[in-house]
Amino acid sequence: MQIICFEDDRVDQLRPVAVARPAYAITSASFRLIDWLRRLPGTLSGSVRPYLRLIQSLDHGINDVPESIDDKDGVLLVNARITPTVDHEKVLLQLCKLSHSGVVIDEDGSVLAARMTAADVASLVKDSESPTPQPLVQKLLSKATGLDRLEHRLDAFCWPHEIVASHMKEMNTSMNRRLELGTYTETADGVFVGEGVQIGQYASVDTSAGPIVFEDNVKVGPFCYLSGPVYAGANTRVIEHSALKDGVSLGHTTKIGGEVEASVIEAYTNKQHHGFLGHSYLGSWINLGAGTCNSDLKNTYGKINITYGDRKVATGMQFLGCFIGDYSKTAINTSIFTGKVIGVCSMMYGFVTSNVPSYVNYARLFGQTSLLPADVMINTQKRMFARRKVEQRECDKQLIRDMYDLTSDERSADPDIL
């Protein structure tokens, strides 16, 4: 079977989370959709935004969609925005096993998944016979909209705050599934570890609300408070006197300190000093300076609204922090207000009282918001990579340039950027 994961036109609503990565690589509750797709029986390919194609191949090992399909088992189309829940893993496997064609449509009309038999795939009009040739994925999606509706239930991320909402809801279920799939040693009641894990003296561990799972070579300093569910990817370092609680998911090779609550942090991000991070999502290669804190609760205790671009969205959530795009940094003692959206490759100083566009130096407290050129971020990327012994490839530098162009509309909409 050919399994095709595709990004649709609504992926742009997931800025800044999905600017530097395909939507299927967004982590929530410790899993990504790509983790489930790799477990399905078939050949996986991906249709992503053009500037991410090489990243898809090199970093995720996924090829572009072939120009034609000749597979006796047909095709499974999967929207890259589908939330990576344990229930959805089961649904996708059920769709693979269907012997007839059908489609799952979201409330907004988006195709979330479609099972197409080999006969239906073969009936597609060939490019050579069409006056307006279409890419294969577009032809498959056009065909899918006319299929019978399936009763299977799937959900997809439409806005960044839904990543945190799903994370909080699904964390325990995801952790239990991870324990089923992995090979861990239980070193204490509810604490499961891989090889080379070290937990310092005088750690206070509470697994009454969920398990704690540490992958290989995680290092936890002394005097830490760990309240499950907590997940830490390989080579993560948790600094002494840290507190991780109420559902924390850490990507591999992160450095974490201070207090972290109900948050997702992607790989290679540093928050190794004291400060609070709550109900938030951080991309990769971010650094939070000492004393950086965010608010995740309004003074009125009311529900939080978020502004995405020129659109205000009611989240329905009482606790919600910030969303920070890849490669962004904060200076010491930066304070981020409730529900703020921070773009990729930006640097923040003082109080962050409004959303931050990508590629800016944000210091509104001091009356300054200035452009941050792509070349500066490429040099910063090189230094960051060297510290982690990661080779800076040409595609990494090109990603910085491409994201700069892609996010130009964010800066042009802000008259204060010098």
User: Over the stretch 101-117, which tens digit does the pLDDT of each residue have?
Assistant: 999 999 999 999 999 99
Q: What is the DSSP string of 228-288?
A: SSEEE-TT-EE-TT-EEESSEEE-TT-EE-SEEES-EE-TT-EE-SS-EEES-EE-SS-EE
CB burial readout 166-202, b (16+ within 10 A) else e: bbbebbbebbebbeeeeebeeeeebbbbbeebebeee
Neighbours of 333 (CB within 10 A): 14
Q: What is the dihedral of CA 397, 402, 403, 409, to 10 degrees?
A: 150
Q: What is the dihedral of CA 350, 352, 358, 360, to 10 degrees?
A: -30
Using a cut of 0.85, tell me whether the model's pTM lies above it: yes
Q: What integer is the mean pLDDT of 42-54?
A: 96
Strand pairing report for 75-79 and 111-116: antiparallel
Question: Cβ distance 217 to 234 under 8 Å?
Answer: yes
CA–CA separation, 77 vs 2, rounded Å?
A: 8
Q: Residue 418 has what pLDDT?
A: 65
- Locate the domains of the chain by residue range: 2-144, 161-412
Q: State the alpha helices, DSSP H only, in 15-160.
A: 33-37, 53-60, 86-97, 118-122, 136-144
Q: What is the residue-averaged pLDDT of the chain?
A: 95
Task: Find the length of the chain.
Answer: 418
Does the structure show a pLDDT above 60 at 131? no
User: Over the stretch 248-262, which tens digit does the pLDDT of each residue have?
Assistant: 999 999 999 999 999
Residue 234: exposure state from Cβ atoms within 10 A (0-12, 13-18, ≥19): middle
Q: What integer is the mean pLDDT of 227-254?
A: 98
- In 3D space, the residue among 213, 214, 225 whose CA is nearest the CA of residue 176 turns out to be 213
Does the structure show a pLDDT above 70 at 330? yes
Q: What integer is the mean pLDDT of 10-33?
A: 98
Domain 161-412 in CATH 2.160.10.10? The answer is yes
Q: Residue 123 has what pLDDT?
A: 82
The DSSP symbol for 384 reads H
Amino acid at 274: H
Question: Cβ distance 19 to 91 under 8 Å?
Answer: no
**Cα of 132 vs its chain's centroid, Å:** 35
Percent of the chain beyond pLDDT 70? 98
CA–CA separation, 280 vs 295, rounded Å?
A: 10
